[in-house]
């Protein structure tokens, strides 16, 4: 399987750190987030990874080219941001009309990649998406999920003030090719997955809750917490 790592955003919530650093190059215990992701995906058997770039693109490109996995990393530059769904659409041919993974590179996680792939293969009939879920300590800042007994997403609440629970969208997805067609049907190049696509698949989307570590590195405070959570004993978190 191939995977798209969404890494082009400016990381405005992480200012001033991201004023001079690409979001995916922010370091946690001496390693950039991108390095954690590449290790996690390639060691789990992902064949190729596509990384989109925009802000501080030269930093990301230089790191990828020097990586031990450089021959399995593809880069695509966005002169103007396309949104998460727009990036998927613009690179649809790279996915080769096969199921593929999409992940936001600004999370620190050690989820079971193979387990997510296995769950997708065994998903209920008619489901086109399998997403990662995690328990958050800041539910009002996340997309909160409600599930039935099968793990099917029955409701999705994107950053509401009083969400019904704390099971959150982990921003890691496995998409069937039909999802790309749904993005294309919107009819414009800039599309957001979490607000325009994911809600359309309520009732046809499986959630797999991770039992491991997962944190959105979206603010200086969350970065500090991730550093504290993973150093020094948990340096293996990916």
- Residue pLDDT, tens place only, 117-128: 999 999 999 999
CA distance 238 to 217: 13
Q: Write down all domains in the chain, each with its CATH number in brackets.
A: 2-230 (3.90.550.10)
pTM of the model: 0.93
User: What pLDDT, on a 0 to 100 scale, did the predictor assign at position 236?
Assistant: 47
pLDDT at 237: 52
CB atoms under 10 Å from CB of 104, counted, come to 25
CA atoms within 13 A on the CB side of 48: 10
Residue 87 has pLDDT above 50, yes or no: yes
Across the chain, where does the E strand assignment appear? 2-6, 27-28, 31-32, 48-53, 73-77, 100-104, 107-109, 129-135, 143-147, 153-158, 167-175, 205-209, 214-216
- pLDDT tens-digit profile of 150-207? 999 999 998 888 888 899 999 999 999 999 999 999 999 999 999 999 999 999 999 9
Mean pLDDT of the chain: 94
Output b/e per residue, 137-146; b: 16+ Cβ within 10 A.
Answer: eebebbbbbb
Closest CA to 198 of 80, 121, 83, 119: 83
Q: pLDDT at position 235, please? A: 47
């Amino acid at each position: 399987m191939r995977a798209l790592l969404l890494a082009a955003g400016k990381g405005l919530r992480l200012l001033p750190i991201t004023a001079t650093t690409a979001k995916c190059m922010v370091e946690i215990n001496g390693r950039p987030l991108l390095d954690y992701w590449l290790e996690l995906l390639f060691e789990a058997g992902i064949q190729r990874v596509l990384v989109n770039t925009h802000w501080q693109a030269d930093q990301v490109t230089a790191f990828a080219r020097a990586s031990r996995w450089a021959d399995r990393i593809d880069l695509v530059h966005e002169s103007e941001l396309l949104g998460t769904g727009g990036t998927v659409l613009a690179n649809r041919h790279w996915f080769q009309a096969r199921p593929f993974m999409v992940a936001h590179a600004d999370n620190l996680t050690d989820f079971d990649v193979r387990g997510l792939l296995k769950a997708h293969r065994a998903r209920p009939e008619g489901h086109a998406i399998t997403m990662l879920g995690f328990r958050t300590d800041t539910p009002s800042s996340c997309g909160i999920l409600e599930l039935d007994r099968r793990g099917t997403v029955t409701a999705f609440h994107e950053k509401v003030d009083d969400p019904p629970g704390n099971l959150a969208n982990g921003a890691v997805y496995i998409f069937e090719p039909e999802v790309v067609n749904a993005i294309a049907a919107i009819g414009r190049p800039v599309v957001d997955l979490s607000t325009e696509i994911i809600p359309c698949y309520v009732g046809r989307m499986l959630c797999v809750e991770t039992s491991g570590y997962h944190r959105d590195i979206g603010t200086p405070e969350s970065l500090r917490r991730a550093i504290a959570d993973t150093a020094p004993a948990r340096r293996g978190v990916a």
